[in-house]
A and B are shown apart, each in its own frame.
Chain A
Amino acid sequence: MSDFTPVTSLIGGLFIGASAVWLLAALGRLAGISNMLHALLDRQRWAEGRQALWRPAFLLGLIGGTTAWFLWTGAPVTERPPLPPLWLVAGGLLVGYGTSMGNGCTSGHGVCGLGRRSLRSLVATLVFMTTGVLTVFVVRHVIGGAA
């Protein structure tokens, strides 16, 4: 079961928005996490030299912020039983393939793209929200599967 947490979710959202505004103000970059992750394995993106270091720096900071929170609170990340490895690999492949092809995820298209009033990002966000909802519907209510 998942409790509705409007206040902490709103506060967390404000942090995420502040992070995106900070990154744009300081470095002129958008906080799109799938793009940063894919860039790690893309030789062309490392051609920027030392300037390319902002991506791993952001990603390490991201891990640090979340890790510090869970160390401090002592809470578990999740209480669900782990999904089967094959299921996770399949999901990871789809998320990686799709975000590379569509140039963004919940952060790049959702948080940043909508903030830029980008029609392209609005379309992307509506599409992945829709297929996400449909997938959960099929898994939980049609075939009654693992997730």
Chain B
Amino acid sequence: MSATAPSPSTQGASPVLATVLAAVAGVLFGLGLAIAGMTDPAKVLAFLDVAGAWDPSLAFVMGGAVGVTLLGFPLVLRRSQPACARRFHLPTVTAIDRRLVLGSAVFGIGWGLTGYCPGPALATVLSANVEVLWFLPALLAGGLIERWVSRR
């Protein structure tokens, strides 16, 4: 990102500090999911059930989260590098291809069947939620299968 910098900065490259800062971000995310009510799959399905007793709460979660990223990301990316890493790791793919559309469609079907996307499923794994003990290993297996299929 900082092509004009005279030398690559090593400032903040401590892996320990970076790991701690990542964990703090995770805690914020986990608190947010729980406060928002998004850890309850029944509430997520109530959002997707537009023809039933619709609960629009999920739209407020997305609205709040995207509002913050829309404002915050440009401010962060104005800097030449992150506080604790040498560069920003951002996706370079921009293609809207078959894999993006088909993959997202398949994800949505699984989401609609269960009410779980990956975050809430993982987040409740220690909160006496027996459902995710079935769901999470299957999620990981699904990813392994997809990578195996796409490599052949």
Interface positions of A (Cβ within 8 A of B):
1-6, 8-31, 33-34, 37-38, 40-42, 50-51, 53-55, 57-70, 76-80, 82-83, 85, 87-107, 109-112, 114-120, 123-125, 127-137, 139-141, 147
> Within the complex, which residue of A3, A6, A53, A137 is in contact with B15, where a contact is CB–CB below 8 Å?
A53
Assembled-state Cα–Cα distance A38/B150 (Å): 14
- Contact yes or no, B58 A9, CB < 8 A: yes
Interface positions of B (Cβ within 8 A of A):
15, 18-43, 45-46, 48-53, 55-58, 60-70, 72-73, 76-77, 79, 81-91, 93-96, 99-119, 121-131, 134-147, 150
- Contact yes or no, B20 A10, CB < 8 A: no
A59-B26, A123-B101 in contact; A12/B127 too (CB < 8 A)?
A: no
- Contact yes or no, A105 B40, CB < 8 A: no
- Contact yes or no, B70 A54, CB < 8 A: no
Rounded to whole Å, the gap between the CB of A89 and the closest CB of chain B is 4
Which residues from A are CB-within-8-Å of B121? Answer: 92, 95
Assembled-state Cα–Cα distance A70/B120 (Å): 13
A contact face: mostly helix, strand, loop, or mixed: helix
Assembled-state Cα–Cα distance A61/B113 (Å): 27
B contact face: mostly helix, strand, loop, or mixed: helix
What are 11 A-B pairs with beta-carbon distances under 8 A? A8-B37, A9-B64, A23-B22, A26-B21, A54-B19, A66-B30, A68-B27, A78-B40, A95-B139, A114-B70, A132-B112
Rounded to whole Å, the gap between the CB of B146 and the closest CB of chain A is 4
Closest to A124 in B: B104
- Contact yes or no, B34 A115, CB < 8 A: no
> Within the complex, which residue of B36, B100, B138 is in contact with A88, where a contact is CB–CB below 8 Å?
B138
Rounded to whole Å, the gap between the CB of A63 and the closest CB of chain B is 6
Rounded to whole Å, the gap between the CB of B26 and the closest CB of chain A is 2
- Contact yes or no, A11 B36, CB < 8 A: yes
> Within the complex, which residue of A65, A69, A90, A102 is in contact with B104, where a contact is CB–CB below 8 Å?
A102
Rounded to whole Å, the gap between the CB of A106 and the closest CB of chain B is 4
A26-B84, A106-B119, A120-B93 in contact; A132/B27 too (CB < 8 A)?
A: no
Which residues from A are CB-within-8-Å of B141? Answer: 92-93, 96
A5-B37, A19-B32, A69-B30 in contact; A111/B69 too (CB < 8 A)?
A: yes
- Contact yes or no, B69 A64, CB < 8 A: no
Assembled-state Cα–Cα distance A41/B148 (Å): 12
| Most B CB within 10 A of own CB, among A19, A37, A85, A116 | A19
- Contact yes or no, A19 B48, CB < 8 A: no
Rounded to whole Å, the gap between the CB of A43 and the closest CB of chain B is 10
- Contact yes or no, B105 A98, CB < 8 A: yes
- Contact yes or no, A4 B57, CB < 8 A: yes
